[in-house]
Chain A
Amino acid sequence: MRTVDAVGRGIEDPVLKLRFLRTSLKNYRRRDEVIGRVPWPSLRRFLYQWFTVGGLQRLLRNPLAVSLPVRGRARRSLRLAQGALVLTAASVAATAGGLTLFAMRLFRAEEAPVMAADAAPAPPAAAVVPVAAGTTEPEPGGPPETLGQRPAGIWQVEKGDGWELYSNGLRIETGYAVLGDKRRYRVFDQDVLSPETFDRPVGILFHTSESDVWPLEPGFNENLRGSTHRLLRYLAREKTYHYLIDRFGRVYRVVEDEAKANHAGHSVWQDEGRVYLNLNHAFLGVSFETRWEGGRALPITEAQFGSGKNLTAWLRQRWDIAPSMCVAHGLTSVNPRRHLIGHHLDWARGFPFASFGLPDAYSRPAPSVALFGFGYDSDFLKVLGEPWSGVFHAERALESEAARLGRSADDLRRDKRALYDRWLQEQARVDDSPRVPTLGG
């Protein structure tokens, strides 16, 4: 109970915390009935502790628990509890080894997932992801990525009516795909708007679909299927996102890669001296069917996780996309009128970059802050608690720059915001990027 309490205190989202507590206690009661029949008190105590701590550790090891924020202190207390248990186990095993093994087998079969809405689905069909060397280091406790043989590259193996199959196991459903508007954009290269117009995607933005998230249970099958298809019809009509990954891990193409999709709105990213404003044209939009709730995305499923990795690998190979250009929408979205970051916050926290073989975009200095002096307001803090670390890095860089120039940070920020406004207007003159909404709407 103490461990449940300690871990529960580390979960910041009230609904996830409630789910965690309720499910843990339900499991506890179920086991309580059975363990209570064990005649030896010391063995009973050991079994209680083992199943509580063991179950929690499994939850924390799960790479999909990215949406279950557990503070470091809670993790430490869990590790300590498990360490103590190892010692206890040694002595208990000596006296009741056979019975313990029997009991462990019995109860492990009963382990239920801690998140009610996150019942473990079948593992993804293929979890092998060939990407650039040195980027596929598996996370501790992640899926068995090193098992099985990797193909030499990713290519289209077969194509049928409404689907495409790729060599890494990726299957793309194409029945909903629509032609979008032509992709064409310019970038600010070394602070100058390039005269050249580009038509190839150079990055990937990860989104959440903000649609219904039904429990992954057979009883909700109709809802699960129905809400995905309604969502897809809507997305196709509005040409929103290039891809949607549903809760069963199916990848749907919504807008052809060669066209732009409406997914990024006002947004900023920078890489290799190039600044990209409003990323609809330059970036591909990949959306996971889940929802941002209580300051984070609800957990994606294992199937979505596997398919997301395979799709990212394929898109990166096809369009030669640099890892540093794969980023979450929430890290790029801005409110241009108020010069605030985090206008949309999907995946502003918790995207498993490392598991996708990508660098951690959260720790990268936020371009909207460093280049354009954007800030954040109390609403932003209410949702996130604190900005991602890249915002702090960017703020420090901005303050250093101001000190170097002998100016106040606020003064410098004002200039940078004015620069953003100018660049936005400049870009709007040459393409169809959204303009800054006026106060009158």
Chain B
Amino acid sequence: MDERKDHLWKVAEEAEQRIDELMERGTAVGTLGVDVGTSKVVAARPKGKSVETASQLNAFMVVPWSRVTEKTLSQNEIAYYREGDELVIFGTDTDRFANMFNAEARRPMANGVLNPREKAAMGVLETILQAIVPKARAQGDILAFSVPAALPGREAELTYHEGTLRRYFEGMGYKAVAVNEGLAIIFSELEDENFSGIGISCGGGMCNGTVAFLSIPTIMFSIAKGGDFIDQSAGAVLNEHSTRVKIMKEEGLDLGRAPKDKFERALHIYYEDLVESLAEALRGALSRAEKLPRSDRALPIVISGGTAKPRGFRELFERALKSRSYPIEFAGVRMAADPLTATARGALVAAMYEK
């Protein structure tokens, strides 16, 4: 059955649920945007009149195999697979499981690219991706996946990362296109500004920024600090596992309020460090640029990503920007409509553009 089924929705006697079934089976997918982030992988695809997204935590942990453990995982519907004498727990359940056992979750990626210290990195990442990326339905289906900007001196790692992911997605039958993370945010959030502005993604492994003018990226920059940096640094000074710090961080940190305990104090300190580094990286990138975008309008800045989610982050970043001078004018800082899915949504726009 190689015919397209999308137009089934046009058959007269169709029922709404039939369309939903088709969507659920992935038959309506012709384009897909995937944010392959250090902390999370998020896929976005068109669904009827809107866009639907799915995500998985990009993490895993390994526990020794025993019949009892496997049965427990199975009964609790925790995603895992067996590898020899070990059970690999992966995806969204990993943090919960790691916290429960006071263990450290591991990541297939670090600093935005495949983790060179994890031998099983690509295998685990593939398993996680399989949970949210269906095989291509037809020749010519396009998948756009996000890649970070290269850290200075580590361009080769990015080349390997991008090439490996491209091969994997092509193996699933897609025409795979890489899109820079910051640009994806611009595609997703700055449509009304003709895709002109600055998109910044604050992810788990790093922060990425792109300056684009009329959709053309002109400057890219990145820093090797992200959510993991905050979790690990705070964990180290608090003598806590970073997984536990991460959970506490996500439970309602407010960077606009004075810290109320030592956990929050540590998180505030490292957040301020990250934001200062980011503002400085933007200043450095703009100062070094040979050609700056010529525009009559001030450029808006959009921030996105899980690390930017805590309340007060935007204001903190704005303060850091104001304490420096820049060769171009900014039209304020705003948060993406949905910081966790903005990159995937932007990648979907890139995929639809390629279609």
A residues 265-295 touching B (CB-CB < 8 Å):
265, 278, 280, 291, 293-294
Query: Is there contact, CB below 8 Å, between A293 and B13?
Result: no
Q: Does the CB pair A234–B3 fall under 8 Å? A: yes
Query: A8's contact among B11, B15, B194, by CB below 8 Å, is which?
Result: B194
Give the interface size bracket for A toward B. Answer: 35 or more
Name B5's closest neighbour in chain A (CB-CB).
A234
A262 within 8 A of B: yes
Q: Which residues of A contact B191 (CB under 8 A)?
A: 14, 17
> 0/1 per residue, A202-215, Cβ < 8 Å to B?
00000101111110
A42–B15 alpha-carbon span in the complex (Å): 64
Q: Which of A163-171, A223-231, A390-398 contacts B (4 or more CB under 8 A)?
A: A223-231
Q: Is the CB of B3 within 8 A of A18?
A: no
A173, chain B: closest CB distance, angstroms: 18
Q: Beta-carbon contacts of B166-203 to A below 8 Å, as 1s and 0s?
A: 00000000000000000000010001101110000000
CA distance A211 to B349 in the complex (A): 19
Measured between beta carbons, the chain A residues less than 8 angstroms from B49 are 345, 379-380, 382-383
- Interface residues of B toward A: which range? 35 or more
Which residues of the partner chain B approach A291 to less than 8 Å between Cβ atoms?
6
- Known A-B contacts A18-B187, A211-B4, A344-B10; the reply to A5 vs B352 at CB < 8 A is no
Closest to B16 in A: A437
Please give, as numbers and ranges, the residues of chain A lying within 8 Å of B14 by CB-CB distance.
Answer: 265
Contact of B7 among A1, A210, A380, A382 (CB under 8 A): A210
Whole-angstrom CA separation of A83 from B288 in the bound complex: 40
Tally of A-B Cβ pairs under 8 angstroms:
108
In residues 252-274 of chain B, which contact A (Cβ within 8 Å)? none
Q: Is the CB of B140 within 8 A of A223?
A: yes
**One of A214, A346, A382 near B140 (C-beta < 8 A):** A214
**A4 contacts chain B at the CB level, 8 A cutoff:** yes
User: Is A186 an interface residue, CB under 8 A from the partner?
Assistant: no
Q: Which of B27-49 contact A (CB under 8 A)?
A: 30, 46, 48-49
Residues of A within 8 A of B187 (CB): 14, 18
Whole-angstrom CA separation of A265 from B49 in the bound complex: 18
Asked whether, in the complex, the Cβ of B4 is within 8 Å of the Cβ of A17, the reply is no
Q: Is B214 an interface residue (CB 8 A)?
A: yes
Contact A14 B349 (CB under 8 A): yes
| Residue pair A209, B50 in contact (C-beta under 8 Å) | no
> How far is B310's CA from A124's CA once the two chains are assembled, in angstroms?
58
Partner of A212, one of B4, B50, B214: B4
Q: Given the complex, which residues of A lie within 8 Å of B2, measured CB to CB?
A: 230
Which chain A residues border B138 with CB–CB below 8 Å? 212
Q: Which of B6-30 contact A (CB under 8 A)?
A: 6-7, 9-17, 30
B9 and A344 contact, CB distance less than 8 A: yes
B214 contact from A8, A117, A238, Cβ within 8 A? A8
A434 at the interface (CB under 8 A from B): yes
B101: CB under 8 A from chain A? no
Central interface residue in B9, B15, B49, B349, by most chain A CB within 10 Å: B49
Which one of B16, B139, B216, B353 has the greatest number of beta carbons of chain A within 10 Å?
A: B353
Is there an interface contact between A434 and B353, defined as CB atoms closer than 8 Å? no
**B215 contacts partner chain A, Cβ-Cβ < 8 Å:** yes
Shortest Cβ gap from A78 to chain B (Å): 15
CB distance from A358 to the nearest CB of B (A): 22
A240 at interface by CB-CB < 8 Å: yes
Tell whether A211 pairs with B13 under 8 Å between CB atoms, given A8-B194, A18-B187, A379-B49.
no
A223 in contact with B139 (CB, 8 Å) = yes
Is A230 within 8 A of B3, CB to CB?
A: yes
Measured between beta carbons, the chain B residues less than 8 angstroms from A5 are: 194, 196, 214
Do B215 and A18 have beta carbons less than 8 Å apart? Answer: yes
Interface string of B63-88 (1 = CB under 8 A from A): 00000000000000000000000000
Distance of A385 from chain B, by nearest CB (Å): 12
A234-B4 contact in complex given A14-B187, A17-B191, A441-B15, C-beta closer than 8 Å: yes
Residues of A contacting B12 in the complex (Cβ-Cβ under 8 angstroms): 262-265, 278, 280, 434
| Cβ-defined contact, B215 with A21, below 8 A | yes
Cα-based distance from A238 to B9 in the complex (angstroms): 12
In the bound complex, do residue A212 and residue B30 qualify as a contact, i.e. CB atoms below 8 Å apart? yes
Cα(A408)–Cα(B192), bound, Å: 39
- CB-contact partner of B6 in A1, A211, A240, A434, under 8 A: A211
Q: Is A61 positioned at the interface, with any CB of B under 8 Å from its CB?
A: no
How would residues 209 to 236 of chain B score, 1 for a CB under 8 Å from any chain A CB and 0 otherwise? Answer: 0000011100000000000000000000
Instruction: For the complex, give the distance between the alpha carbons of A56 and B10 in Å.
Output: 35
Verify if B290 is at the interface (C-beta below 8 Å from A). no
Cβ contacts under 8 Å, A230 to chain B: 2-4
Q: Smallest CB–CB gap between B195 and chain A, Å?
A: 7
Cβ 8 A contact of B10, one of A19, A210, A380: A210
Check A441–B17 contact: CB distance below 8 A: yes
Given contacts A9-B194, A223-B140, A434-B13, contact A25 B6 (CB under 8 A): no
Chain B residues within an 8 Å CB radius of A207: 10
Do the beta carbons of B214 and A2 come within 8 Å of each other?
A: no
Pick from B11, B192, B353: contact of A265, CB below 8 A: B11
Contact present for A240 and B4 (CB under 8 Å):
no
> How far, in angstroms, from A345 to B49 measured CA to CA in the complex?
10
* CA A234 to CA B7, docked complex, whole Å: 10
- What residues of B have a CB within 8 angstroms of the CB of A335 in the complex? 16
Beta-carbon contact of A210 and B6 below 8 Å? yes
The smallest beta-carbon distance between A20 and chain B, in angstroms, is 9
> Which chain A residue shows the least CB distance to B3?
A234
Q: Does A108 contact B (CB under 8 A)?
A: no
Q: List chain B positions with a Cβ less than 8 A from chain A.
A: 2-4, 6-7, 9-17, 30, 46, 48-50, 138-140, 187, 191-192, 194-196, 214-216, 294, 296, 349, 352-353, 355
A-B contact pairs, 11 of them (CB 8 A): A15-B353, A21-B194, A21-B216, A25-B215, A212-B30, A223-B140, A231-B4, A233-B3, A265-B11, A383-B49, A441-B17
